[in-house]
Amino acid sequence: MRPEVFYRRVVVETGRDVGDGRRATAAVLCALRDRLTPEEAEQAAAQLPAELKAVWRTGERRDRRPAKMRRDAFLERVRTEAQLETPRQARAATVAVFAALKDQLSTGEADDILAQLPKDLKDVWRAA
């Protein structure tokens, strides 16, 4: 999927403007990357087009451990980084980005990501 199609999906599904869609995409991708092991994050990045791969890798630390974020902490991080006003907007943005990402990834890679998420965040991934 071309990056502009990915962003357009997020914009359409959230009803936000293009700038908001790009910020939301970056916030969700980076929060998800930090929630995964570095190895799994690298495998996911390998399936992204160059522009989205660059977003995924923004601020990445290779020597990190997976961030222990449950759903509420994940959504709060997205809300803050994407400059959204409410938790509801953060959830909508997260679902939209997760849906576009799942379409970009192989089924096996999407399943590998799902396996690393806590139960309450798995529910958000499945809703996408």
6-57 pLDDT tens trace: 999 999 999 988 999 999 999 999 999 999 999 999 999 999 999 999 999 9
Spell out the alpha helix ranges (H) of the chain.
3-14, 18-35, 38-45, 50-57, 71-81, 87-104, 107-116, 119-127
**What predicted TM-score, i.e. pTM, was given to this entire model?**
0.95
Tokens of 6: 């990915």
What is the C-alpha to C-alpha distance for residues 45 and 42, in angstroms, rounded to an integer?
A: 5
- pLDDT one-digit tens code per residue, 56-98: 999 988 789 999 999 999 999 999 999 999 999 999 999 999 9
Superfamily of the domain at 3-127: Uncharacterized conserved protein DUF2267 (1.10.490.110)
What is the C-alpha to C-alpha distance for residues 1 and 97, in angstroms, rounded to an integer?
A: 13
What is the C-alpha to C-alpha distance for residues 98 and 125, in angstroms, rounded to an integer?
A: 6
Judged on CB neighbours under 10 Å (0-12, 13-18, 19+), 119 is exposed
Helix axes 50-57, 38-45, angle to 10 degrees: 160
What is the C-alpha to C-alpha distance for residues 81 and 9, in angstroms, rounded to an integer?
A: 19
